[in-house]
Structure 1
Amino acid sequence: MNTRALRADVLLFLTAAIWGLAFVAQRVGMEHVGPLTFNGIRFALGALALTPLIMVLEKRRAPGFAGADRKGMAVGGLLLGLALFAGATLQQVGLAGPQLAEFGLEASTAGKAGFITGLYVVLVPLFGLLLAQRPGWGTWVGAGLAVVGMYLLSVTADLTISFGDLLVLVGAFFWAGHVLLVGKLSPGLDGVDAIKLSTVQFAACAVLSLFGAVVTEEISLAGIMGAAPAIAYGGLMSVGVAYTLQVVAQRDAQPAHAAIILSLESVFAAIGGWIMLGEVLTTRGLVGCGLMLAGMVLSQLRP
């Protein structure tokens, strides 16, 4: 492995760690604000955090470069923002312990949410069947392992699943749809326009989330200040820093390496939940996590 590829893998590893620990921040933030308020401010910060990167890359562009169609980028960004809003909202509500407890419902944990969300890696090639794509054997075996792992992780002996886990699972389908949308909208875009498209989607998600928060949640300055560290991590680190690292790393990374390393996000979510929140998985849950991770990796190795 050459130096550039090694550096790319290290940066992707850091990206996965940042994204995984974001699940911890999302859980902590729910102690102070509602899920839509958290997401609204978080993605607004994320959009702002990418602005400096766009400015730097714009300066490096060749003079007279036309760039992407602004109207097309606005429409594409809005569509991505809608998918992102759906996935992020379901995930965040699923992690909202205090809010769900008011209705006698059980929230997901940071570790479980990380693994369940990671199922989008398996769902994407399966959704490809609707687009006349033909997944390889690795996808089918990986999907089977992921389903069994999901059962062991979230389904109890009474064949019930917590409401939080169920919401995160539904959200994984929207994350998969989001990936497919990116695949349709991003080809032909250079690095700068791809980041601009992401910034538009983050801004759209922020607006939708804040509108929903104003309508359905009680927003207070004290609550926002209490959740400020978690929101800052979710917006600046998880979106701004991690996304920048991913963009830089994937210039030199092998696609299979990148997909597998980024799937470690779920492992970091479980480790972070254990160390920082005292979340403990049962032996059954750990086996389920292992099977899900194996399914995610296999679906990338033999897609």
Structure 2
Amino acid sequence: MKDHRLTSTPLLAVTACLLWSTAFVGVKTGLQYAGPLAFAGIRFMLSGLLLVPLWWPHRPTLRDTLRHLRLIAWIAFFQTFTLYGLFYIGMTLVPGALAAMVVGASPLVAAVLAHFLMTGDRMNRAKTCSILLGLAGVAILSLSRLPWRSATGLMELAGIAILLLSNTAGAMGNILVARHTTSLHPLFLNSAQLFIGGFALWCLSRPLEGALPATLPWPFWVSLAWLAFLSAAAFSLWFTLLRRPGVKVSELNLWKFLIPVCGALLSWLLLPGESPGLWPVAGMACIASAIIMYNLPAFRPPSPYTNRH
């Protein structure tokens, strides 16, 4: 009988990516009023707390939690502390649309790391062609701004490098979740790693950025509330998908090519001073083609001669 959980994988993956694509506007808004580490720390602590009512009926025993504490800590280190610490710092150096495009390189990083670190998740011709086409789109989007010619060109290039490092940390977090089978409920695992990673970021922000202002305007609180919600929802969906039998890290991460397209569109629409051009549109077309090229077979009935799902 066909596993309907697997047939819903594309829909859930797209939902998570669409949620993540809204983060660039929210982060750029919140960073006008708070330091990157403090803002990220508060966001992810709130995200972790938002999930408590959902996993409480399935809460693990204290013994089971302590037995998996090291895994939770490592996931929190890569998936929240390092990934989003670097992401928020990078976002202070580049426009929101450009950040969305650079983050779009994350499927390539995930696929390469999964090739070396995951059993049965090797690169093949279709996967390689899709990734290269998507990466070409990201390169066109990034280089179309000619950052080396702008007054802040070196800062933008540094921001791009920092965002690429954050991609690597996120890929390692994905691999940790996929490699280690535990009895912990995915919602609990996500909630715990979000709160621990966020708390570590907040603690680091205190000596580096100082305390937040006593009063903050409503755009900060709106962006914080939305970002906390989307992190709780998107990561929970993603962790659930990563734990499904038959779902591969590299294939699932191909859906993240949606993030730069939607993130750039929202940044152009909502952030002042950001607008599209011919080359950015061409890059987005490459990214969309990469997604279609590789993922359309996911909607077809599986062949009896393949074991992709």
Shorter-normalised TM range = 0.7 to 0.9
1:91–1:171 contact (8 Å) kept in structure 2: yes
CA RMSD of aligned residues (A): 3.6
1:115–1:293 contact (8 Å) kept in structure 2: no
**Residue 102 (structure 1) aligns with:** none
Give me the identity figure in percent.
Answer: 18
1:74–1:200 contact (8 Å) kept in structure 2: no
Whichever residue aligns with residue 134 of structure 1, its letter is R
| Between 70-79 and 263-272, the greater mean CA deviation after superposition | 263-272
The alpha-carbon deviation at position 11 of structure 1 amounts to 5.6
**Residue 277 (structure 1) aligns with:** 271
Whichever residue aligns with residue 168 of structure 1, its letter is L
The alpha-carbon deviation at position 148 of structure 1 amounts to 2.4
Map residues 202-217 of structure 1 onto 2, 5 A cutoff: 202-217=194-209
Gaps of 5+ in 2: 298-307
The alpha-carbon deviation at position 222 of structure 1 amounts to 2.2
Using a 3 Å threshold, how does the CA distance of structure 1 residues 157 and 45 change in structure 2: closer, same or farther?
closer
**Residue 305 (structure 2) aligns with:** none
Partner Cα distance (1:170, 1:234) in 2 = 21
1:72 aligns with 2:60: no
TM-score, with structure 2 as normaliser:
0.76
**Residue 181 (structure 1) aligns with:** 176
2:177–2:239 contact (8 Å) kept in structure 1: no
Map residues 1-303 of structure 1 onto 2, 5 A cutoff: 13-58=14-59, 69-84=64-79, 85-96=81-92, 107-131=93-117, 133-155=121-143, 156=146, 162=156, 163-185=158-180, 187-189=181-183, 192=185, 194-218=186-210, 219-223=212-216, 227-235=220-228, 237-244=229-236, 263-278=257-272, 279-295=274-290, 298=293
Partner Cα distance (1:26, 1:226) in 2 = 11
The alpha-carbon deviation at position 109 of structure 1 amounts to 2.6
Q: SS in structure 2 opposite 1:221?
A: coil
1:122–1:295 contact (8 Å) kept in structure 2: no
Q: Deviations over 1:80-103 (max 9, x none)?
A: 11112111111111112xxxxxxx
1:36–1:209 contact (8 Å) kept in structure 2: yes
Q: Deviations over 1:202-245 (max 9, x none)?
A: 1221121111110111322224866221111111x212234456
Partner Cα distance (1:158, 1:88) in 2 = 25
Partner Cα distance (1:232, 1:247) in 2 = 21
Q: SS in structure 2 opposite 1:222?
A: coil
The alpha-carbon deviation at position 110 of structure 1 amounts to 2.5
